[in-house]
Amino acid sequence: MRLLNRSAGRLSRHRRGPIAGLMVLVCGLLLTGGLYAAFAPAQADSTQGQEELVKEGRELFLVGCAFCHGQNGEGVLTQGGTQYGPALTDVGEAAVDFQVGTGRMPMAQPGVQAPRKEVTYDKDEIAALAAYVGSLGTGPEIPDTELYSTEGMSDKQLEELVVRGGQIFLANCTACHNFEGSGGAMPRGGFAPKIRGVDSKHIYEAMLTGPQSMDTFSDGNIPPEDKKAVIAYLETLDKAPSYGGLTLGGLGPVSEGIIAWLVGIGSLVGFAVWIAAHTTRSSKQKG
C-alpha cells in the first residue's frame, strides 16, 4: 500500500507536466482501440463488407437505375418540370427491397404506375442495390423476420392477432385493395394491386414505405405489432377454404352479376329452348 502510494505520488508529480495530457489521450485511445479490436473484430470486417456491397450496388445502380433516378440517386426532372424518376436519397433500404424484390423496378417503360412483374435482379444484387440506396440518406431499413413472421405463435395468440388484423385491414386497407385484397382502381389509370399471395416481408415493406400511389403507414400510424396482425389476417385468408364456392375473382357484386346473367339466365333460357323443342313424344319418333 505504501509502495503504491509512493509510486502514485511519483506519478502525480508529473500530472501537471507538459506531456501528461498527451499521455492520457494516448492511453485512452490505446485502451478503446484495444478493447474495440478485442471485442468487435467482426464488425470491422462487416464495415468493409458493407462498403463493398455499397460499391457493388452503385455499379448495378449506374447500369439499371441511374437513367431515371440520376447517377447519384438525386432524381431526374423532365423538361416539363415533373419527375422522370424520383430522388432516392431518403427512401431507405426497405423501399428498394420492395420495389426491386417484387419486380416493379426497374420499370419496363414509363407509366402511371409500375406493375408487379418478373423479378430482374437476384437476392444478392437486390441486397447490394438496397445497401447503396440506403447509404444515400435516411429511410426505413429492411424489416427483420420476427417483425412479420407469425411462426412460433400459439394458436390462441395467432387467433387474437388475426381478429385484430382483420379489423385493421378493413379500416385501413380495403378502401383501395378491396375486402379480399383483390385490388381496386385509383384515379387516372393508377391501381391498388392485388395483395394476396404476396411475400409477408413485401407487405410489411409496402406499409412502411408507401410505394406508388399508396400512403405510408409509419410505425406511428400502424405499430409494428399491428402490421404483423394485418399480415397474419392476409395469411389466414390465403389458407382458409373458400366457404361459399368459387370466389369469382373476389371482386364483389360485379362478377356476381355477370355469373347471374351468363350462367344463371343463360342456362335457364337454354333449358327453356330445350323444353319447348321437345313436344309430346315427338323426339322418340324422330330420333
Partner 1 sequence: MTVGDMSKVAKTNGTEPATAPKGAKAAGAIANWADERLGLGTAMKKNLRKVFPDHWSFMLGEIALWSFVVLLLTGVFLTLWFDPSMTEVQYNGSYDPLRGVHMSSAMASTLDISFDVRGGLLMRQMHHWAAMIFIASMMIHMLRVYLTGAFRKPRELNWVIGCLLLLLGTIEGFTGYSLPDDLLSGTGVRAADGFMKASPVVGSYMSFFLFGGEFPGDSIIPRFYAMHILLIPGILLGLVAAHMLLLVYHKHTQWAGPGRTEENVVGYPMLPVYAAKAGGFFFIVFGVITLLGGLFSLNPVWKFGPYDPSKVTAGSQPDWYMGWPDGLLRIIPAWETHIWGVTLSWNVMLPILVMPPLMLMILIALPFLEAWITGDKREHHLLQRPRNAPTRTAIMVALMTFYGLSWAAGGNDIIAIKMHLSINQITYFMRAAVFIGPVIAFLITKRWCISLQRHDEGKLLHGYESGVLVRSPEGGYAEKHLPLPEGEAYRLSARDIDPTPETVEEIESSGLAGRQVKLRRLRAKLAAVFFADNVQKPTAEELHDAQHHAEHELHELEAQIAAGPNKHGPADH
Q: Write out the residues near partner 1 by the rule CB under 8 A.
A: 112, 159-160, 162-163, 166-167, 170-171, 174-180, 182-189, 191-192, 233, 236-237, 240, 242-248, 250-257, 259-261, 263-265, 267-269, 271-273, 275-277, 279-282, 285
Neighbours of 90 (CB within 10 A): 13
Residues 6+ apart with CB under 8 A from 259: 248
In the bound state with partner 1, the residue whose beta carbon lies nearer, of 21 and 111, is 111
Output the CA angle 205-144-130, nearest 5 degrees. Answer: 60
Shortest approach of partner 1 to residue 84 CB, angstroms? Answer: 20
Shortest approach of partner 1 to residue 136 CB, angstroms? Answer: 33
**Residue whose C-alpha is closest to residue 100's, from 211, 190, 186:** 211
Shortest approach of partner 1 to residue 154 CB, angstroms? Answer: 14
Shortest approach of partner 1 to residue 166 CB, angstroms? Answer: 5
Residues 6+ apart with CB under 8 A from 267: none
In the bound state with partner 1, the residue whose beta carbon lies nearer, of 5 and 285, is 285
- Which cell numbers in the block locate residue 136? 444515400
In the bound state with partner 1, the residue whose beta carbon lies nearer, of 67 and 261, is 261
In the bound state with partner 1, the residue whose beta carbon lies nearer, of 124 and 225, is 225
- Which cell numbers in the block locate residue 179? 375486402
Backbone angles phi, psi at 191, to 5 degrees: -155, 150
